[in-house]
Chain A
């Protein structure tokens, strides 16, 4: 079993969900996260937004453009698959999300020691 963690753009989550469902990966979970990558973001573009508009901004946007954090909102999706399915799932995520721009995201593949289904208590490959 392997865990595939992918950090993708916020607006790509629905497309990724559909693409994974079509190829028979219905189960996954996803979380709102903030992050940054290797690329330096040019925050001077956002400077006009701060100032008089500051009070009307949504908290999430305010966090992005405030001096302190400078992290961008992303979606972290995580799915557990069998060893031989890793390549297929990774390809789906890359094909769906790749627009050739920096900031499209990253995928990490991690080993999983054990999986247990809570409903029945069964463990191992059939519990995935």
Chain B
């Protein structure tokens, strides 16, 4: 199992979530976060904003589903043809165990 954490633009969340649901990955957790990237924030006039609001989508998927999910998120979170700075990042980390609380069973 792998945990996918994608930090994306707040206005792209709806598009990503509905595509994920249609593709058969309904389970997802959304967390409001603030952050900056390699570009050190956004400069507007003389002011530098380095705490930019983003949304983090967290989901745990089977190893073989990783590529599909990442592709889906990339496709829908991108803005413009080539993409732009600030579209976000996706991080993937291993998950050793998963439990469902209601039944106590292991696995996704």
Q: Are A and B co-members of a single complex? A: yes
Q: Hey, which bits of chain A sit against chain B, CB under 8 A?
A: 2, 6-8, 31, 33-38, 40, 68-69, 71, 74, 76, 86, 90, 93-94, 97-111
- Contact assessment for A101 and B28 in the assembled complex, using a CB-CB cutoff below 8 Å: no
Q: Within 8 Å of chain A (Cβ to Cβ): is B84?
A: no
Q: Which residue of A lies closest to B105 (CB)?
A: A94
- Contact assessment for B103 and A100 in the assembled complex, using a CB-CB cutoff below 8 Å: yes
Partner pick for A33 among B27, B30, B101, B103, CB 8 A cutoff: B30
Residues of A within 8 A of B28 (CB): 35-36, 71
- Contact assessment for B98 and A108 in the assembled complex, using a CB-CB cutoff below 8 Å: yes
Distance between Cα atoms of A107 and B104 in the complex (Å): 10
Residues of B within 8 A of A94 (CB): 99, 101, 104
Distance between Cα atoms of A94 and B29 in the complex (Å): 19
* A/B pair count, beta carbons within 8 Å: 86
- Contact assessment for B98 and A106 in the assembled complex, using a CB-CB cutoff below 8 Å: yes
Partner pick for B17 among A31, A38, A69, A90, CB 8 A cutoff: A69
- Contact assessment for B30 and A97 in the assembled complex, using a CB-CB cutoff below 8 Å: no
- Contact assessment for A99 and B27 in the assembled complex, using a CB-CB cutoff below 8 Å: no
Q: Within 8 Å of chain A (Cβ to Cβ): is B81?
A: no
Given that A110-B95, A110-B96 are known contacts, is A71 also in contact with B30, CB under 8 Å in the complex?
A: yes
Residues of A within 8 A of B104 (CB): 94, 98
Distance between Cα atoms of A97 and B100 in the complex (Å): 10
Q: Within 8 Å of chain A (Cβ to Cβ): is B74?
A: no
Q: Within 8 Å of chain A (Cβ to Cβ): is B79?
A: no
Q: List B11-38 residues whose CB lies under 8 Å from chain A.
A: 13-14, 17, 26-31
Distance between Cα atoms of A93 and B99 in the complex (Å): 10
Given that A108-B60, A110-B95, A110-B96 are known contacts, is A103 also in contact with B102, CB under 8 Å in the complex?
A: yes
Given that A68-B14, A94-B104, A110-B93 are known contacts, is A38 also in contact with B27, CB under 8 Å in the complex?
A: yes
- Contact assessment for B100 and A33 in the assembled complex, using a CB-CB cutoff below 8 Å: no
Residues of A within 8 A of B99 (CB): 90, 94, 106-107
- Contact assessment for B101 and A106 in the assembled complex, using a CB-CB cutoff below 8 Å: yes
Shortest distance between the CB of A91 and any CB in chain B (Å): 9
Distance between Cα atoms of A99 and B94 in the complex (Å): 29
Distance between Cα atoms of A26 and B31 in the complex (Å): 24
- Contact assessment for A7 and B29 in the assembled complex, using a CB-CB cutoff below 8 Å: yes
